[in-house]
Amino acid sequence: MGTATAADPHPSFLADKDAKVFVAGHRGLVGSAVLRRLLSLGFTSVVVRTHAELDLTRQADVEAFFAAERPRYVVLAAAKVGGIHANSTFPADFIAANLQIQTNVVDAALRCGSVRKLLFLGSSCIYPKFAPQPITESALLSGPLEPTNEWYAVAKIAGIKMCQAYRIQHGLDAVSAMPTNLYGPHDNFHPENSHVLPALIRRFHEAKACDAPEVVVWGSGSPLREFLHVDDLADAVIFLMDQYSGLEHVNVGSGSEVTIKELAELVKEVVGFQGKLVWDSSKPDGTPRKLMDSSKIQGMGWKPKIALKEGLVETYKWYVENVVSDKK
Protein backbone atom coordinates (compact mmCIF):
# COMPACT_ATOMS: atom_id res chain seq x y z
CA MET A 1 0.00 0.00 0.00
CA GLY A 2 3.09 2.22 0.42
CA THR A 3 2.92 5.98 0.62
CA ALA A 4 0.09 8.36 -0.29
CA THR A 5 -1.09 8.68 -3.90
CA ALA A 6 -3.52 11.02 -5.66
CA ALA A 7 -6.22 8.32 -5.50
CA ASP A 8 -5.56 7.67 -1.79
CA PRO A 9 -4.34 10.85 -0.06
CA HIS A 10 -3.51 9.00 3.17
CA PRO A 11 -0.25 7.09 3.67
CA SER A 12 -0.56 3.46 4.74
CA PHE A 13 -0.23 2.68 8.44
CA LEU A 14 3.36 1.44 8.06
CA ALA A 15 4.30 4.58 6.13
CA ASP A 16 2.83 6.82 8.85
CA LYS A 17 5.20 6.13 11.75
CA ASP A 18 5.15 9.69 13.12
CA ALA A 19 1.37 9.57 13.65
CA LYS A 20 -0.12 9.16 17.12
CA VAL A 21 -1.14 5.57 17.85
CA PHE A 22 -3.18 4.92 21.00
CA VAL A 23 -2.74 1.40 22.38
CA ALA A 24 -5.53 0.78 24.90
CA GLY A 25 -4.60 -1.95 27.38
CA HIS A 26 -0.82 -1.72 26.91
CA ARG A 27 -0.04 -3.62 30.13
CA GLY A 28 -1.93 -6.78 29.18
CA LEU A 29 -0.73 -9.82 27.25
CA VAL A 30 -1.89 -8.47 23.87
CA GLY A 31 -1.43 -4.73 24.39
CA SER A 32 2.14 -5.10 25.66
CA ALA A 33 3.05 -7.18 22.57
CA VAL A 34 1.48 -4.61 20.22
CA LEU A 35 3.38 -1.84 22.01
CA ARG A 36 6.69 -3.74 21.67
CA ARG A 37 6.04 -4.33 17.98
CA LEU A 38 5.16 -0.69 17.22
CA LEU A 39 8.30 0.58 18.99
CA SER A 40 10.51 -1.99 17.23
CA LEU A 41 9.09 -0.84 13.87
CA GLY A 42 10.05 2.76 14.63
CA PHE A 43 6.69 4.33 15.51
CA THR A 44 7.62 7.55 17.32
CA SER A 45 4.36 8.70 18.90
CA VAL A 46 2.71 5.75 20.67
CA VAL A 47 0.29 6.94 23.35
CA VAL A 48 -0.51 4.78 26.39
CA ARG A 49 -2.35 5.27 29.68
CA THR A 50 -2.50 3.05 32.75
CA HIS A 51 -5.88 2.23 34.27
CA ALA A 52 -5.08 4.66 37.10
CA GLU A 53 -4.44 7.44 34.55
CA LEU A 54 -7.48 6.71 32.38
CA ASP A 55 -10.45 4.54 33.33
CA LEU A 56 -11.90 3.45 29.98
CA THR A 57 -15.25 2.61 31.58
CA ARG A 58 -15.84 6.34 32.27
CA GLN A 59 -17.27 7.97 29.16
CA ALA A 60 -16.45 11.61 30.02
CA ASP A 61 -12.82 10.74 30.79
CA VAL A 62 -12.42 8.81 27.52
CA GLU A 63 -13.95 11.66 25.49
CA ALA A 64 -11.66 14.20 27.20
CA PHE A 65 -8.61 12.01 26.49
CA PHE A 66 -9.45 11.66 22.78
CA ALA A 67 -10.20 15.38 22.45
CA ALA A 68 -6.84 16.27 24.03
CA GLU A 69 -4.61 13.63 22.38
CA ARG A 70 -6.35 13.32 18.97
CA PRO A 71 -4.75 9.99 17.94
CA ARG A 72 -4.75 8.98 14.28
CA TYR A 73 -4.82 5.23 14.98
CA VAL A 74 -6.33 3.17 17.80
CA VAL A 75 -5.63 -0.43 18.83
CA LEU A 76 -8.28 -1.50 21.33
CA ALA A 77 -6.68 -4.32 23.33
CA ALA A 78 -8.15 -3.28 26.70
CA ALA A 79 -10.67 -5.67 28.23
CA LYS A 80 -11.77 -7.18 31.52
CA VAL A 81 -10.64 -10.80 31.23
CA GLY A 82 -10.67 -13.87 33.49
CA GLY A 83 -11.13 -17.60 33.62
CA ILE A 84 -14.29 -19.69 34.03
CA HIS A 85 -14.46 -19.11 37.81
CA ALA A 86 -14.22 -15.31 37.50
CA ASN A 87 -16.78 -15.23 34.67
CA SER A 88 -19.30 -17.27 36.63
CA THR A 89 -18.74 -15.35 39.90
CA PHE A 90 -18.79 -11.82 38.47
CA PRO A 91 -20.99 -11.95 35.32
CA ALA A 92 -22.21 -8.36 35.72
CA ASP A 93 -18.64 -7.03 35.89
CA PHE A 94 -17.63 -8.89 32.74
CA ILE A 95 -20.53 -7.80 30.57
CA ALA A 96 -20.74 -4.21 31.88
CA ALA A 97 -17.02 -3.31 31.91
CA ASN A 98 -16.37 -4.71 28.43
CA LEU A 99 -19.44 -3.05 26.91
CA GLN A 100 -18.45 0.26 28.53
CA ILE A 101 -14.81 0.11 27.35
CA GLN A 102 -15.75 -0.72 23.75
CA THR A 103 -18.61 1.77 23.52
CA ASN A 104 -16.61 4.62 25.02
CA VAL A 105 -13.48 4.08 22.91
CA VAL A 106 -15.20 3.46 19.55
CA ASP A 107 -17.62 6.36 20.00
CA ALA A 108 -14.90 8.78 21.16
CA ALA A 109 -12.73 7.69 18.21
CA LEU A 110 -15.52 8.80 15.88
CA ARG A 111 -16.40 12.00 17.74
CA CYS A 112 -12.87 13.38 18.08
CA GLY A 113 -12.54 13.47 14.28
CA SER A 114 -8.84 12.59 14.14
CA VAL A 115 -8.98 8.77 14.05
CA ARG A 116 -8.25 7.28 10.64
CA LYS A 117 -8.39 3.63 11.70
CA LEU A 118 -9.35 1.55 14.74
CA LEU A 119 -8.72 -2.14 15.37
CA PHE A 120 -10.80 -3.98 17.96
CA LEU A 121 -9.50 -7.21 19.47
CA GLY A 122 -11.94 -9.93 20.38
CA SER A 123 -11.54 -13.58 21.31
CA SER A 124 -12.30 -17.02 19.90
CA CYS A 125 -14.96 -17.46 22.64
CA ILE A 126 -17.34 -15.40 20.46
CA TYR A 127 -18.09 -18.55 18.48
CA PRO A 128 -20.85 -21.08 19.25
CA LYS A 129 -19.93 -23.93 21.60
CA PHE A 130 -20.57 -26.52 18.88
CA ALA A 131 -19.31 -24.58 15.86
CA PRO A 132 -18.03 -26.81 13.03
CA GLN A 133 -14.22 -27.19 13.07
CA PRO A 134 -12.11 -25.44 11.94
CA ILE A 135 -14.19 -22.37 12.90
CA THR A 136 -14.72 -19.86 10.09
CA GLU A 137 -15.69 -16.21 10.56
CA SER A 138 -19.20 -17.03 9.24
CA ALA A 139 -19.87 -19.24 12.30
CA LEU A 140 -20.55 -16.09 14.37
CA LEU A 141 -24.10 -16.07 15.81
CA SER A 142 -24.91 -19.46 14.23
CA GLY A 143 -25.61 -21.20 17.56
CA PRO A 144 -25.56 -20.95 21.38
CA LEU A 145 -22.37 -19.88 23.18
CA GLU A 146 -20.35 -21.72 25.81
CA PRO A 147 -22.41 -20.84 28.96
CA THR A 148 -19.37 -20.44 31.24
CA ASN A 149 -18.12 -17.29 29.53
CA GLU A 150 -21.14 -15.98 27.65
CA TRP A 151 -21.07 -12.62 29.49
CA TYR A 152 -17.63 -11.85 28.08
CA ALA A 153 -18.47 -13.36 24.68
CA VAL A 154 -21.69 -11.34 24.27
CA ALA A 155 -19.77 -8.13 25.02
CA LYS A 156 -17.10 -9.04 22.44
CA ILE A 157 -19.76 -9.85 19.83
CA ALA A 158 -21.32 -6.44 20.54
CA GLY A 159 -17.87 -4.90 19.94
CA ILE A 160 -17.65 -6.52 16.49
CA LYS A 161 -21.17 -5.35 15.65
CA MET A 162 -20.42 -1.84 16.91
CA CYS A 163 -17.37 -1.57 14.63
CA GLN A 164 -19.54 -2.74 11.72
CA ALA A 165 -22.35 -0.32 12.57
CA TYR A 166 -20.00 2.67 12.89
CA ARG A 167 -18.45 1.74 9.53
CA ILE A 168 -21.88 1.46 7.83
CA GLN A 169 -23.46 4.58 9.36
CA HIS A 170 -20.49 6.88 9.91
CA GLY A 171 -17.74 5.59 7.61
CA LEU A 172 -15.38 4.89 10.53
CA ASP A 173 -12.62 2.53 9.38
CA ALA A 174 -13.04 0.12 12.29
CA VAL A 175 -11.91 -3.50 11.89
CA SER A 176 -11.98 -6.47 14.26
CA ALA A 177 -9.51 -9.31 14.82
CA MET A 178 -10.34 -12.54 16.68
CA PRO A 179 -7.25 -14.33 18.01
CA THR A 180 -7.07 -17.98 19.03
CA ASN A 181 -5.57 -19.12 22.38
CA LEU A 182 -2.59 -16.86 23.08
CA TYR A 183 0.54 -17.27 25.17
CA GLY A 184 3.77 -15.40 25.78
CA PRO A 185 5.38 -12.73 28.01
CA HIS A 186 2.97 -10.93 30.40
CA ASP A 187 0.57 -13.89 30.44
CA ASN A 188 -1.41 -14.62 33.60
CA PHE A 189 0.30 -17.38 35.61
CA HIS A 190 -2.08 -17.20 38.59
CA PRO A 191 -2.56 -20.64 40.21
CA GLU A 192 -6.38 -20.41 40.26
CA ASN A 193 -7.47 -18.53 37.13
CA SER A 194 -4.83 -18.96 34.43
CA HIS A 195 -5.34 -20.76 31.12
CA VAL A 196 -3.98 -24.23 30.34
CA LEU A 197 -0.56 -23.31 28.94
CA PRO A 198 0.64 -20.87 31.65
CA ALA A 199 -0.89 -23.19 34.27
CA LEU A 200 1.22 -26.09 32.97
CA ILE A 201 4.39 -23.94 32.96
CA ARG A 202 3.79 -22.93 36.57
CA ARG A 203 2.96 -26.45 37.76
CA PHE A 204 5.98 -28.08 36.13
CA HIS A 205 8.27 -25.32 37.39
CA GLU A 206 7.00 -25.63 40.97
CA ALA A 207 7.26 -29.44 40.81
CA LYS A 208 10.86 -29.13 39.57
CA ALA A 209 11.70 -26.58 42.28
CA CYS A 210 10.57 -28.91 45.09
CA ASP A 211 11.73 -32.21 43.47
CA ALA A 212 8.18 -33.57 43.27
CA PRO A 213 8.04 -37.15 41.89
CA GLU A 214 5.10 -36.46 39.57
CA VAL A 215 2.72 -33.88 38.11
CA VAL A 216 -0.93 -34.88 37.75
CA VAL A 217 -2.86 -33.28 34.88
CA TRP A 218 -6.63 -33.45 34.49
CA GLY A 219 -8.26 -35.48 31.73
CA SER A 220 -6.95 -37.91 29.14
CA GLY A 221 -4.73 -35.43 27.27
CA SER A 222 -6.57 -36.13 24.01
CA PRO A 223 -8.29 -32.74 23.31
CA LEU A 224 -6.77 -30.73 20.47
CA ARG A 225 -5.93 -27.07 20.94
CA GLU A 226 -4.40 -24.27 18.88
CA PHE A 227 -1.90 -21.78 20.31
CA LEU A 228 -0.49 -18.56 18.91
CA HIS A 229 2.44 -16.64 20.36
CA VAL A 230 1.33 -13.13 21.27
CA ASP A 231 4.19 -11.61 19.23
CA ASP A 232 2.72 -13.30 16.15
CA LEU A 233 -0.65 -11.74 17.01
CA ALA A 234 1.02 -8.31 17.35
CA ASP A 235 2.51 -8.83 13.89
CA ALA A 236 -0.98 -9.67 12.56
CA VAL A 237 -2.44 -6.54 14.19
CA ILE A 238 0.12 -4.35 12.38
CA PHE A 239 -0.60 -6.25 9.14
CA LEU A 240 -4.37 -5.68 9.44
CA MET A 241 -3.94 -2.01 10.38
CA ASP A 242 -1.92 -1.62 7.18
CA GLN A 243 -3.70 -3.95 4.76
CA TYR A 244 -7.32 -4.64 5.80
CA SER A 245 -10.36 -2.43 5.66
CA GLY A 246 -13.40 -4.70 5.58
CA LEU A 247 -16.71 -5.17 7.37
CA GLU A 248 -16.17 -8.77 8.50
CA HIS A 249 -14.00 -9.65 11.50
CA VAL A 250 -10.82 -11.64 10.83
CA ASN A 251 -9.64 -14.81 12.60
CA VAL A 252 -5.99 -14.88 13.66
CA GLY A 253 -4.64 -18.34 14.50
CA SER A 254 -1.55 -20.47 14.05
CA GLY A 255 -3.42 -23.05 11.98
CA SER A 256 -1.64 -25.90 13.79
CA GLU A 257 -3.04 -28.13 16.51
CA VAL A 258 -1.47 -29.95 19.42
CA THR A 259 -3.03 -32.42 21.87
CA ILE A 260 -3.02 -31.40 25.54
CA LYS A 261 -0.81 -34.49 26.09
CA GLU A 262 1.76 -33.29 23.52
CA LEU A 263 1.59 -29.80 25.02
CA ALA A 264 2.19 -31.08 28.56
CA GLU A 265 5.14 -33.21 27.43
CA LEU A 266 6.64 -30.23 25.59
CA VAL A 267 6.26 -27.96 28.64
CA LYS A 268 7.79 -30.70 30.83
CA GLU A 269 10.78 -30.84 28.48
CA VAL A 270 11.21 -27.05 28.26
CA VAL A 271 10.98 -26.61 32.04
CA GLY A 272 13.32 -29.54 32.63
CA PHE A 273 11.07 -31.48 35.04
CA GLN A 274 12.52 -34.99 35.50
CA GLY A 275 9.57 -36.63 37.28
CA LYS A 276 6.53 -38.45 35.93
CA LEU A 277 3.57 -36.98 34.06
CA VAL A 278 0.31 -38.62 35.27
CA TRP A 279 -3.11 -38.23 33.64
CA ASP A 280 -6.22 -38.23 35.85
CA SER A 281 -8.78 -39.49 33.34
CA SER A 282 -11.57 -39.35 35.96
CA LYS A 283 -11.51 -35.55 35.42
CA PRO A 284 -13.28 -33.91 32.43
CA ASP A 285 -11.52 -33.21 29.13
CA GLY A 286 -13.51 -30.20 27.92
CA THR A 287 -14.16 -29.53 24.22
CA PRO A 288 -12.50 -32.26 22.09
CA ARG A 289 -11.25 -29.85 19.43
CA LYS A 290 -11.00 -26.08 19.03
CA LEU A 291 -9.31 -24.76 15.90
CA MET A 292 -9.90 -21.50 14.08
CA ASP A 293 -9.91 -21.24 10.30
CA SER A 294 -7.36 -18.48 9.57
CA SER A 295 -7.39 -18.90 5.79
CA LYS A 296 -8.80 -15.38 5.33
CA ILE A 297 -5.79 -13.57 6.83
CA GLN A 298 -3.34 -16.11 5.41
CA GLY A 299 -4.89 -15.49 1.99
CA MET A 300 -4.04 -11.79 2.44
CA GLY A 301 -0.38 -12.73 2.91
CA TRP A 302 0.12 -13.00 6.68
CA LYS A 303 1.38 -16.11 8.45
CA PRO A 304 2.77 -16.84 11.93
CA LYS A 305 6.51 -17.22 12.41
CA ILE A 306 7.06 -18.54 15.95
CA ALA A 307 7.04 -22.34 16.42
CA LEU A 308 5.41 -23.62 19.61
CA LYS A 309 8.59 -25.00 21.20
CA GLU A 310 10.56 -21.83 20.42
CA GLY A 311 7.75 -19.72 21.92
CA LEU A 312 7.55 -21.92 25.02
CA VAL A 313 11.29 -21.61 25.67
CA GLU A 314 11.03 -17.82 25.53
CA THR A 315 7.84 -17.72 27.63
CA TYR A 316 9.36 -19.95 30.32
CA LYS A 317 12.44 -17.71 30.44
CA TRP A 318 10.16 -14.68 30.92
CA TYR A 319 8.22 -16.52 33.66
CA VAL A 320 11.41 -17.37 35.57
CA GLU A 321 12.83 -13.84 35.25
CA ASN A 322 9.62 -11.92 35.99
CA VAL A 323 7.15 -14.06 37.95
CA VAL A 324 9.41 -16.39 39.93
CA SER A 325 12.06 -13.75 40.74
CA ASP A 326 9.33 -11.29 41.87
CA LYS A 327 8.17 -13.79 44.51
CA LYS A 328 11.63 -14.09 46.07
| Active site amino acids | 152
d(CA 165, CA 16): 26
Angle at 326 between CA 322 and CA 328, to 5 degrees: 135
CB atoms within 10 A of CB 71: 23
Angle at 216 between CA 282 and CA 291, to 5 degrees: 75
In one-letter notation, the amino acid at residue 230 is V
Q: Which stretches of 119-258 are DSSP H helices?
A: 150-170, 196-209, 230-243
- 320-328 long-range Cβ contacts below 8 angstroms, 24+ apart: 320/205, 322/185, 323/189, 323/202, 324/205
Q: Is the distance from CB of 163 to CB of 102 less than 8 angstroms?
A: no
d(CA 258, CA 223): 8
Interacting residues of 175 by C-beta distance below 8 A, sequence separation 6+: 117, 118, 119, 120, 163, 240, 244, 245, 246, 249, 250
